[in-house]
């Protein structure tokens, strides 16, 4: 019987290797990047097309979400 060691098969090792994630704390500059405008009410609104109908009220609604901070606002028609 042949013996299998860790150095004989490079394909086996590459399948088990995972992607390395850097474990460092983000700096305050990176953490709050782009949110300064949102704090002062200048959001970057984008339309969310997944939910267009409110079941309880029976109305069409438009859901907006801010690209920078993730805040949502809903308007009914």
Residue 46: predicted pLDDT? 93
Q: What percent of the chain has pLDDT over 90?
A: 13
- pTM for this entry: 0.51
Residue 72: pLDDT over 80: yes
Residue reference for tokens 């860790």: 6
Contacts of 16 (CB under 8 A, 6+ apart): none
Residue 17: predicted pLDDT? 75
Residue 56, domain member (yes or no) = yes
Q: Band of the pLDDT at 45, cuts 50, 70, 90?
A: very high
Residue 64: predicted pLDDT? 92
Structure-block tokens of residue 44: 């970057």
Residue 30, domain member (yes or no) = no
Residue 71 is part of which domain span?
A: 43-77
Residue 13, domain member (yes or no) = no
What letter would DSSP give residue 50? Answer: S
Across all residues in the chain, what is the average pLDDT?
A: 77
């Amino acid at each position: 019987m042949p013996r299998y060691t860790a150095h004989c098969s490079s394909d086996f090792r590459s399948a088990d290797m995972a992607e390395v994630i850097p474990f460092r704390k983000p700096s305050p500059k990176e953490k709050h990047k782009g949110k300064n405008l949102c704090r002062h009410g200048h959001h970057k609104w984008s339309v969310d097309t997944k939910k267009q109908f409110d079941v309880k009220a029976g109305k069409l609604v438009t859901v907006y979400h801010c690209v920078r901070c993730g805040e949502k606002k809903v308007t009914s028609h």
